[in-house]
Amino acid sequence: MISGYNQRGISVDLSSGKIEVFPLPEEIITNYLGGRGWGAWFLHEENQALVDPLSSESILVIASGGLGGSVAPTSGRFSIIFKSPLTGTIFSSNSGGFWGHIFKRTGYDVLLIKGRAAQPVYLYLSEDKIELIECPELWGLNIPELTQQLQAKYSPQAKILGIGPAGEKQVRFASIMNDLGRTAGRGGGGAVMGAKNLKAIVVAGRKTFPPFQREKYQTGLAQANKLIRSMPVTSKAFPLLGTAGLVKLVYQHDMLVHRNFQDTSHLPENIEKISGETLRRTIFRAPRGCFNCRIRCARLTQVDHRQGEGPEFETIAMLGANLEIYDLPTIARANYLCNEYGLDTISLGNTLGAAMELFEKGGLSSPETGGLELCFGAGHLLEELVRLIAHREGLGHELAEGARRLCQKYQAPELAMVVKGLELPAYDPRSTLMQALGYATSTRGGCHLKGGYMISLGFFGGAREVDRFLVETVADHVVDEQDSGCVADMLGICRFAYFAFSENELSRIYAGFTGVDLGPHDLKRLARQVIDEERRFNLKAGLKASTDTLPTRFFTEKIKIAGRQRAIDRENQFAYMLNKYYEIRKWTNDSNLKTNKIHPK
Amino acid sequence: MASQNRISQAKIIQKIKAVGQAMLALGLQNTHSGNISARWGKDFFITKTGSMKGHLEDRDIILVGTDEPRSGLFQASSETGTHQKILSFSGAALHAHSLASVLISYRHTSLRPLDALGKLYLKEIPVIEFEYPVGSPEMERDIPLCLQNHPAMIVKTHGPFTHGPTLEEAFFRLTVLDYSAQILFWLELLGTPLEKLTELNYPSLPEYETPSGKLATQDEELINQFRRTALDVFYLELSPFHTGSLSVRNGQEMLYSPQLSTPHGFLADQEIKRIPLEPKSDDYFIQLHQAVYRYSSAKAAIFTHSPWGMIQALHQWSQGQNRVIPADAEGSYFYPAIGLSSPSTELTQIVELATRYKMVILPGLGVLAIGHTPGYVIHHVSSLKNICFLLTHLKVMQRQGLVKNMGEFLNKKGRDW
């Protein structure tokens, strides 16, 4: 018997309304642990590689982490896994807040959503009730309105996950929101929910999970908490400045994107206007944290009379620095709208950057933009553009398709700053070769997190820091960080907690909680299998190894970084690192995995 | 604190790098541990977490706010909170892993120095025990409180924190602390009856001052001689940072360098003064050098605080001995014996003993060596280090039964030299 798990899941077929509870085999628990791992397994089992993500054949997997239900620091995260309508890859997107913790306490570990409802519905889930409820009256509501109505009906303690108008309109980068301001942001999960006519999932649960070995569990927790309290990143930087504190740091490393990744050059006074320090002095009202999190990196802010969460670093960078909009209130207002409509701010900022470059270079003309002068620095247009995209109106309809499709349509694919169709986030890969390799190899496309969050090793990794322009040995670091990230996603732990602790502490906590004794190396081994599984899915979905690359701009356009003009040398740097990466993962560069076993253990 | 604020950003970064290299050279930390901070206006610089202190680059030294948080916190050391609070009342702070201090912390609730430097500059150094002795909120609360009343403290099983108005003074205190801890640790290990050392009276010593860099001579050869000597004194650990003194006679005056022990990065601050042999100075160390030239024909003199010399001298003194007799061939060849004299002895007698033995050890205070040139006199004090290091370890070997009788190794001529 494994402790800490419910060992069962629910399958909901929205087409038929059929709800089934199914046992979760022990082998699946111990090989895939939870979260992202289970997602990879279920999507494989359900043969999802070739389905249209926005069709009734697609499934959405919502899975608690292996440490869900525990009191491990930051363990409230859960994953939503689907085939992405944006990238066509497998896509694991995770979120914090409290929803995931309460979901686990309803008595289920995983939820499979299949089919498509004839009418808008929402799902209610508690320890003694599972119910699908038609809700045409909720369709069209934004996230605060939806949350308010459902909590008024059930209880203020009920946790709400749902989509806003952007998901309903199947914007390809619509996010799934929970607890008002938390988001499974990337990859268009909101569009998948919208395509299924599923507006929300309400959870209310109180089940508790006694640990298998209390002493082991508690000593692991004590050590992890001690490290979080002692590391400045987790005890001071994030709590005091939020992720916005990274703005200056990333800028100082010539990494902060600018004008659709044309360069990383900003005036220092402009950076000051959007820095975490300025945010703290001006619009900041209070810190916000997820379940059992001491880091509390989220910001409650206020602009005029509106309050909301954010902006986070990525939002400031992508809607601000990238678009030359150096005004925090403007960025925050757009961010509030994104949270209300359910939009991924990274893809949004990246897509707008592509549109602005297209416009300035003549690829998009004024009639096509509906008369909008879509220039960099056009902060006055930002809120209107968000509205247009979320509702797919006018130019918003094209922007809602994301940067790749937009640029393809206007015959300038080279202006799409995407990998595998996923819009790149705020770090220019020319500034850290590890990040370049991470973007290229991430199984969900151009993502800093699934790519390994290499900037942390690049300039705030402490003794683990790796030179940003190193080529030799880089692939090993990237593989290792990607694997660690996958462990965090499987266990439902925040990536930021890794600034304080690692698999050493997690393996002890997990063993104490569940009785499954996996060492740090075992956790990474399982993570590597999950990444293999995701790769296998992508290959089956038709992706080729040739998609393990970066936009041409990064190979051909030199920009000044760390005192020198630099681009990534495609042959001598990138190809070398990539081949090493394949060698380490035992992948071949003709797109095949050497191993085809599903359960290599 | 004010003086720390006046210096430029580039200068303060250069000094932090120099302290990092110096700390590594003395083994006060491992390659990555410890941290160094210095106030700069409203903000402060601190070494980046996990940075290699012996090889700090500009990017490893980050700016953090004392009042308002700044993005530098993402890279800051795990002890940043503690430094931040210390720097609200001080100009610079250091945290090191001085092994001697850690050893003392295992069995003492405070370090009470036996030597003159420690007694004067540090007095009593508290040892504080923490449940979580690395980067914990309790440390952040209690260490600054402690340091408001003390120049230094030791975190039990972890290492010391020191502070001062300048980086130099904070580092000076750190090296004196390590020095005092080494002396106490080894004396306890040798089984020295410490109560017999309480009768030692030390003269009044001058307050610490950061050297001004003023040179009272343009003679580059002489300046280079002084600088070489200063480096050797520091790197051979013949005297804590900015302690010791060197002089050469020049007619009825001497060229004199105080605060001699200097690592790379601080040589530009080294001072050379021109001091007449009369009248007698108020500064004890200047008096000592003046006395050398008044009462001997020596052309050069050096005074260092020699940790190994102090360990051996204090041990011998507690046994009622008045000399140190070498047990190694090289030491015996040059120095059949080295005289000991109470630190409160008249200067004339001290110089007389130095003339007879080439150097004289004042237990707990230091060693005076005299001769013809700076190179000649530093040879004496560096030899003393080896002689006393070997004697001390030989004694431990004897206590462990590894050698039967260390007396058989002592220079036979030394007993009545």
A127-167 per-position pLDDT tens digit: 999 999 999 999 999 999 999 999 999 999 999 999 999 99
Domain termination residue (choose one: A204, A230, A259): A204
Tell whether A399 and A262 lie within a shared domain: yes
Residue A87 located in a structural domain: yes
Averaged over A164-178, what is the pLDDT? 98
Domain termination residue (choose one: A186, A204, A222): A204
**Whether residue A193 sits in one domain with residue A81:** yes
Looking at the structure, tell me whether residues A97 and A196 fall in a common domain: yes
Whether B71 sits inside 8 A of A462 (CB atoms) is no
Chain mean pLDDT for chain A = 95
- Residue from the list A235, A237, A463 with its beta carbon closest to the beta carbon of B50: A463
Tell me, yes or no, whether A262 and A370 share the same domain: yes
Closest approach of chain A CAs to the CA of B383, in angstroms? 38
Residues A407 and A456 in one domain: no
Please state the pTM of the whole predicted model: 0.87
Does A108 share its domain with A178? yes
The minimum CA-CA distance between B132 and chain A, rounded to whole Å, is 8
Looking at the fold, whether A271 and A186 belong to one and the same domain comes out as no
Cβ distance of A460 and B132 shorter than 8 Å: no
Confidence of residue B222 (pLDDT cuts 50, 70, 90): very high
Q: Does B109 touch chain A (CB under 8 A)?
A: no
Sort strands A182-184 and A176-178 into parallel, antiparallel or unpaired: antiparallel
The CATH number of whichever domain residue A523 belongs to comes to: 1.10.599.10
Residue A324 predicted with pLDDT over 60: yes
Nearest CA in chain A to B49: A462
A175-214 per-residue burial string, b: 16 or more CB within 10 A, e: under 16 = bbbbbbbbbbbbbbbbbbbbbbbbbbbbbbbeeebebbbe
| A114 and A177 part of one domain | yes
Asked if A452 and A482 touch (Cβ cutoff 8 Å), the reply is yes
Does residue A454 fall inside a structural domain?
yes
Report how far residue B34's alpha carbon sits from residue B52's, in angstroms, rounded to the nearest whole number. 10
Could you say which of A150, A175, A204 is where a domain stops?
A204
| Selected residues 68-107 of chain B with any CB under 8 Å from a CB in chain A | 68-78, 80-81
pLDDT at B417 over 90: no
* Structure token pair of residue A436: 């370049």
Same domain for A250 and A385, yes or no, is yes
Which pLDDT value is given to residue A595?
45
Q: Is residue A185 part of a domain?
A: yes
A175 shares its domain with A294: no
Question: Same domain, yes or no, for A327 and A467?
Answer: no
Whether residue A147 is contained in a domain is answered as: yes
Tokens of A275: 């820095």
Q: Is residue A449 part of a domain?
A: yes
Count residue pairs from A and B with Cβ separation < 8 A: 84
- In contact, A488 and A496? CB cutoff 8 Å: no
Task: Note down the domain range covering A97.
Answer: 8-204
CA atoms of B340 and B412, how far apart (whole Å)? 18
Closest CB from A226, A237, A463 relative to B74:
A237
B residues 122..181 contacting A (CB < 8 A): 132, 134-137
Q: Token digits for B59? A: 């990017």
CB contact under 8 A, A233 and B80: no
Interface test with B, best of A221, A228, A233 (most B CBs within 10 A): A233
- Asked if residue A215 belongs to a domain, the reply is no
Predicted local confidence at residue A454, as pLDDT: 81
pLDDT on residue A85: 98
Mean pLDDT across chain B, nearest whole number?
93
Q: What is the pLDDT of residues A224-266, one digit of tens each?
A: 999 998 888 999 999 999 999 999 999 999 999 999 999 999 9
In a domain, A213, yes or no: no
Vertex B405, ends B401 and B409: CA angle to 5°?
A: 125
pLDDT of residue B2: 42
Residue of chain A minimizing CA distance to B81: A232
Please check whether residue A557 lies inside any domain of the structure.
yes
Is B136 within 8 Å of A460 when comparing Cβ atoms?
no
pLDDT beyond 60 at B1: no
Reported residue count of chain A is: 601
- All structural domains of chain B: 2-189 (3.40.225.10), 220-416 (3.40.225.10)
Q: Are A241 and B132 in contact (CB < 8 Å)?
A: no
Among residues B292, B304, B298, B291, which one has the least CA distance to residue B384? B304
Among A394, A396, A414, A395, smallest CA distance to A404 is for: A414
What CATH number is associated with residue A367?
1.10.569.10
In this structure, the answer to whether residues A140 and A172 fall within a common structural domain is: yes
Number of domains in chain A: 3
Predicted confidence band of residue A478 (pLDDT cuts 50, 70, 90): very high
Q: Which CATH number covers residue A19? A: 3.60.9.10
Q: Are B101 and B152 a contacting pair, CB within 8 Å?
A: no
Partner residues linked to B37 by β-bridges: B46, B93
